[in-house]
Amino acid sequence: MSGLLHRLGFIIRETGQALDRLGCRLQGNNAFLEDVYKHRTIMSLGSKTANIGEGAFVAPSAAVIGDVTLGKRSSVWYGTVLRGDEGAISIGNNSNLQDNVSVRTSKAFLGGHNGATTIGNNVTVGHSVLLDCVTIQDEALIGMGATLLEGVKVEKGAQVAAGAVVAPGTVIPSGELWGGNPAKLLRPLKPEEAAFISKSAQTYAELGAEHAKEVALGH
């Protein structure tokens, strides 16, 4: 029954849009025209196109633009923007970029850093993080609201604290927790913190699958 109602609603909305376009043509130059742009969740840019892996979830309000590779079971959450317009963005398997994350690329930087952004497997990137041409290796965690500037490298199993600002070219070694502005070593990660990184990635992979099913019902 729900499927029938959804189809009927779709037909009614499409009919209304068709009637509006016909009315505008009949009115000619006297028609009131309103430009309405449909949000494009995944958008090519010239020859640059996205490659979305099996079982990955991209939220309807996210924007995946240009040269972006998203691995299997990875998730891009609501309001997140991935701009692979100048350089490439590569995200491994089972990683998650939570709500309102911003990832950008560049053709080049004066410091000689790579203009791409690379994120490995089982990585968690918290809400409202800014990633500016960085490399994040496997099983790392970036806390909410952190800013990672050009050329930053977060090694496998490292963690960046919420709200940290990591200066350009900084390397955060494996097994360490960095925080502050500018970010610096706070201490080694505790065993339970290190274990949480993998758990977080798995939790978001499962949650992404649930959201993907619900979003599909609205198509």
Tell me the pLDDT tens digit for each residue of 160-208. Answer: 999 999 999 999 999 999 999 999 999 999 999 999 999 999 999 999 9
- Helix, strand, coil proportions of the chain in percent (round to 5)? 25, 30, 45
Identify the band that residue 88 occupies on the pLDDT scale cut at 50, 70 and 90.
very high
pLDDT band at 114 (very low <50, low <70, confident <90, very high): low
Residue 14's pLDDT is what?
79
Among residues 97, 101, 103, the alpha carbon closest in space to that of 84 is found at 103
- Is residue 100 within 8 A of residue 76, CB to CB? The reply is no
Find where tokens 């496997």 sit: 138
Q: What pLDDT, on a 0 to 100 scale, did the predictor assign at position 163?
A: 97
Q: What is the pLDDT of residues 15-30, one digit of tens each?
A: 877 787 787 778 777 6
With contact defined as beta carbons under 8 Å apart, do 87 and 67 qualify? yes
